[in-house]
Chains A and B, each alone.
Chain A
Amino acid sequence: MMDQKSPILVLGVGNPLLTDDGVGIHAIAALEKAYSFNPPVEIMDGGVQGLNLLGFIAEAKHLIVIDAVRNGGAPGTLYRLAGGQIPRRVLQKNSLHQVGLLEALALASVLGDPPSTVILGVEPLDIASIGLEPTLPVRERIPELVDAVLAELKLLGCVPQARGE
């Protein structure tokens, strides 16, 4: 139980039952297992909640999103998107119900001050098959993805401590 909400939210999103789509969830699990932070940060498994995450997003000052990102690169390619590189809306829309994360970000800006946002992504190979683990090219990049999150947190003045040291 934290009384003081951290201004930093690390948000893993995706569906851990759908192979590479779960990479964001697997990455935050690895992050939480290996490190603690001072001051503490909010680490959240956002699943595929889309718009329902708006509350958590709106409360944060700094947002780090970890997700599978389709950008046409080789599977396992890592991406960092910030500021103007974050698409203002989803171009290839076929989601009715899951008004997605990008919409939630857009709406956060209508409501008031949206958090400064960085998206750390991995190019997926397979996001359609049912599977509890990412494919090999994606799985083997998870440690680097965790390092990328640590780098972002350091920029925000947060010191990671390896657990068990």
Chain B
Amino acid sequence: MAKRITIDPVTRIEGHLRIEVEIADGKVVNAWSSGQMFRGIEMILKGRDPRDAPLFTQRSCGVCTYVHYLASIRAIEAAVGVEVPENARILRNLLHGTQYQHDHIIHFYHLHALDWVDILSALKADPQKTAALAENVSQARWGGTAYFKQVQERIKTFVESGQLGPFNNAYWGHSAYALPPEANLMAVSHYLEALRLQAKAAQMHAIFGAKNPHLQSLVVGGITCAMDLTPDRIAEFLYLWKETQTFVRNVYLSDILAIGSFYKDWAALGGTSNFLAWGDFPEGEKEPESLFMPRGVIMNRDIAAVRPAEQEKVTEHISHSWYEGNTDQHPYKGQTAPQHGDYDPDNRYSWIKAPRYEGEPCEVGPLARMLVAYARGKDSARKLVDDTLARLGVPVTALFSTLGRTAARALETVLVGDAMEGWVMKLVENLKAGQDTIYQAWTMPDKATGCGLNDVPRGSLGHWIEIEDKKIKNYQYVVPSTWNLGPRCSNGKLGPVEQALIGTPVADPKRPVEVLRTVHSFDPCIACAVHMIDPRSNEVYKIHVL
């Protein structure tokens, strides 16, 4: 007699997110975002050798191992004052670009698409009509009546086996699903193809990363994968890159346009006001000038008034978070002194701090980066954005929305992915010319501070380190989900996701798929439970959502 067991997933997540919304007349009128889990990795780092920080911080988040690794290395390099050789910079960019391709594909298909795509409706689709639709809107390599029939059979078997697991969403058949059955079937088939692709593409990280999924090839001062800089290995990387980027252009981008055309009402919902991008992918020694994705901050949706972004202007507020005190500190001065209390939306209600730029909440992530690139006059970004707006037939204001955020993620994947080929070619050129330096020696100072900024798939990330007696005295980081999902600040300003939810229509408070659409569009790296209050009927629903 086998015992029933549960593998408790609590340990598999970076934190537990609780979203509470208040509804009046079928719309969200107030919202609170609460992180329910304390992360105190900073405390473990104190007193250690600074070189330990990258390996520790890469374990601090579920899936974003490389991005913390890179930010941490950059913080130490800033502190010790070392400039990495060009090849090391290129290889880091290639690993980082790979991360964008993978994360964005996985986010759209496996973590977000089922908010828009009704899997059960796909079972009603006519495979022949689906094949005709797919022929028309996507340049995918697979298709045809027989193929879609087979996909449908597979889903059917899976659904009937009662193990909907990853598809275990309670909202199938909800009135907010707008796609016809054939579009649903096509999208579900792409869900499966994306799974296959990501399985293959994980190998890209392994080529220059020494190990996967926890890369080990970066060191303070450069990179260590000298033995992988061979024609064979580089060709292998290019081959996988090409397959991935072909999918991005021919399937992911086409799907965004096809699915987006059924959800144009979401071009007016879920927007925020301010956008911050540290930028990333340095293409030369001078930063921020050489960043391929530029640095900048945009306030009040005023794209024309984009300004330089400076890390000195960041503070973290804790007046609504479970920490001692009320001070708003720059991360160098930041303390992590947890003090858990009751969940009280009027007072303290989250483990997440509230980062602010010059006192303002900012959205970070693909939309912020694409807006800053657009504002900075980056031609390739402008063309992609303008073409997409034209094809969807929506105005430029549509960018400030849930649909805009989701589309920006795909556009950015095209942009960064396309640039990777040039980076590989530059590396090959350097190696051919006998330039094979990948490491620059350095010495550990007694005392120093350093900041490592990067912009990672989910948004702006910063690590701040203070070194004393060659040991870590203080270490703080501000992660993208903190920017996007943080609570109110000392001035009572709502965090980005809280602001974005205001005005969202909710057809059925028991099944708030509309709320999830906006929350998921931020790609939170936290679990989510939605707690609905409807003051008029005075009912409280607690809904746990995948």
Q: A residues touching B (Cβ–Cβ < 8 Å)?
A: 14-18, 21, 45-56, 58-59, 67-71, 79, 81, 84-85, 87-103, 106-107, 109-111, 119, 121, 127-128, 130, 132
Contact status A88-B162, CB under 8 Å: yes
Contact residues in A for B23 (Cβ distance below 8 Å): none
Asked whether A106 lies within 8 Å of B192 as measured between CB atoms, the reply is no
User: At the interface, yes or no: B441 with Cβ under 8 Å from chain A?
Assistant: no
Please name 12 pairs of A and B residues whose Cβ atoms are closer than 8 Å in the assembled complex, sorted by A: A51-B110, A81-B5, A87-B7, A90-B7, A93-B546, A94-B16, A94-B527, A94-B529, A97-B527, A106-B163, A110-B155, A130-B40
Expressed in whole angstroms, the Cα–Cα distance for A110 and B165 within the complex equals 11
> Is B8 part of the contact surface with A, judged by Cβ < 8 Å?
yes
Report B430 CB to chain A, min CB distance, Å: 23
CA distance A17 to B43 in the complex (A): 12
**Does B229 reach chain A (CB closer than 8 Å)?**
no
B544 at the interface (CB under 8 A from A): yes
Chain B residues whose CB sits within 8 angstroms of the CB of A132 once the complex forms: 44
- Pick from B110, B158, B162: contact of A99, CB below 8 A: B110
**Which candidate, B60-68, B82-90, B339-347, is the interface stretch facing chain A?**
B60-68
Interface residues of B in 309-357 (CB under 8 A from A): none
Q: How far in angstroms is the closest Cβ of chain B from A58?
A: 5
**In the complex, A119→B199 CA distance in Å?**
21
A98 touches B199 (CB 8 A): no
B162 adjacent to A98 (CB under 8 Å): no
B6 and A90: CB pair below 8 A? Answer: yes
Contact (A47, B9) CB under 8 Å given A93-B544, A99-B166: no
A97 to B195, CA, bound (A): 15
Interface of A is mostly: mixed
Contact: B526 with A59, CB < 8 Å? no
With A52-B198, A106-B166 known as contacts, the answer to whether A68 contacts B11 (CB < 8 A) is yes
Q: Mark B36-73, 1 if CB is under 8 A from A, else 0.
A: 00001101100000000000100110110100000000
Task: Tell me whether A97 and B6 are in contact in the complex, defined as CB-CB below 8 angstroms, given that A89-B163, A106-B165, A106-B166 are known contacts.
Answer: no
B-side interface mostly: mixed
Question: Within the complex, what minimum Cβ distance (angstroms) separates B133 from chain A?
Answer: 22
Asked if B3 is at the interface (CB within 8 A of a chain A CB), the reply is yes
B189-213 CB contact bits vs A (8 Å, 1 = yes)?
Answer: 0001001101111110000000101
Q: Cβ of A49 and Cβ of B165 under 8 Å apart?
A: no
For B, the interface residue count at a CB cutoff of 8 angstroms equals 61
B425 at the interface (CB under 8 A from A): no
Q: How long is the Cα–Cα vector from A47 to B524 in the complex, in angstroms?
A: 19
List residues of chain A with CB within 8 A of the CB of B59. 15-17, 47
Interface positions, chain B 1-51, Cβ under 8 Å from A, are 2-14, 16-17, 40-41, 43-44
Is the CB–CB distance between B526 and A56 below 8 Å?
no
Contact with A along B519-546 (1 / 0, CB 8 A): 0100011111100000000000000111
Contact B546 A48 (CB under 8 A): no
**Residues of chain B at the chain A interface (Cβ within 8 Å):** 2-14, 16-17, 40-41, 43-44, 56, 59-60, 62-63, 65, 102, 106, 110-111, 154-155, 158, 161-166, 168, 192, 195-196, 198-203, 211, 213-214, 520, 524-529, 544-546
Contact A50 B192 (CB under 8 A): no
Please determine whether A97 and B525 come into contact, CB atoms closer than 8 angstroms: yes
Question: Given A55-B202, A94-B544, A130-B40, does the pair A88, B7 have CB atoms closer than 8 Å?
Answer: no
Contact partners of A17 in chain B: CB under 8 A: 41, 44, 56, 59-60
Interface centre among B10, B41, B192, B524 (most CB of A within 10 A): B10
Residues from chain A with Cβ under 8 Å of B202 in the complex: 52, 55-56
Contact of A58 among B65, B164, B199, B211 (CB under 8 A): B199
Interchain CB contact under 8 A, A70 and B63: no
User: What residue of chain B has the Cβ atom nearest to residue A57's Cβ?
Assistant: B199
Q: Please measure, in the bound complex, the distance between the C-alpha atom of A5 and the C-alpha atom of B384, giving whole angstroms.
A: 40
- Interchain CA distance A101-B12 in the complex, whole Å: 9
Q: Nearest Cβ in chain A — how far from B233, in angstroms? A: 9
* A92, closest chain B residue (CB): B6
Query: Which B residues are CB-close (under 8 A) to A69?
Result: 5, 7
Q: Which of A48, A54, A56, A85 contacts B12 (CB 8 A)?
A: A48
Contacts of A121 in B (CB 8 A): 7
A70 CA to B188 CA in the complex, in Å? 33
Contacts of B56 in A (CB 8 A): 17
Closest to B200 in A: A55
Q: Which of B59, B60, B161, B196 has the most CB of A within 10 A?
A: B59
When the two chains form their complex, are residues A92 and B195 in contact, meaning their CB atoms are under 8 A apart?
Answer: no
Q: Is the CB of A130 within 8 A of B44?
A: yes
The 8 Å CB contact of A97, one of B5, B44, B63, B65, is B63
CB distance from A139 to the nearest CB of B (A): 17
When distances are taken between beta carbons in the complex, the residues of chain A under 8 Å from B155 are 110
Query: Which A residues are CB-close (under 8 A) to B8?
Result: 70, 92, 127
Closest Cβ–Cβ distance, residue A40 to chain B (whole Å)? 16
A100 vs B65: C-alpha distance in the bound complex, in angstroms? Answer: 16
Whether B62 contacts A97 by the Cβ 8 Å rule is: yes
Selected contact of B165 from candidates A16, A70, A88, CB within 8 Å: A88
Q: Are A55 and B525 within 8 A (Cβ)? A: no
Among A52, A67, A93, A110, which residue has its beta carbon within 8 angstroms of that of B154? A110
Determine the distance from Cα of A67 to Cα of B12 in the docked complex, in whole angstroms: 11
Measured between beta carbons, the chain B residues less than 8 angstroms from A15 are: 11-12, 59
Decide: B63 and A95 in contact? CB cutoff 8 A.
no
Which of A15, A85, A110 has the most chain B CB within a 10 Å cutoff?
Answer: A110
A71 touches B9 (CB 8 A): no
How far is A87 from B158 in the complex, measured between Cα atoms in Å?
15
Are the C-beta atoms of A48 and B11 separated by less than 8 Å?
Answer: yes
Across-interface contacts of B63 in A (CB, < 8 A): 48-50, 52, 97-98
Q: What's the minimum C-beta distance from A51 to chain B, rounded to whole angstroms?
A: 6
Other than the given A17-B59, A45-B214, 4 more pairs (CB < 8 A) read: A15-B11, A49-B63, A52-B102, A96-B17
Q: Are A55 and B154 in contact (CB under 8 A)?
A: no
Determine whether the beta carbon of B5 is less than 8 Å from that of A71: yes
Q: B9 contacts A93, CB within 8 Å?
A: yes
Closest B residue to A20 by CB, please name it.
B11
Contact of A88 among B3, B12, B14, B163 (CB under 8 A): B163
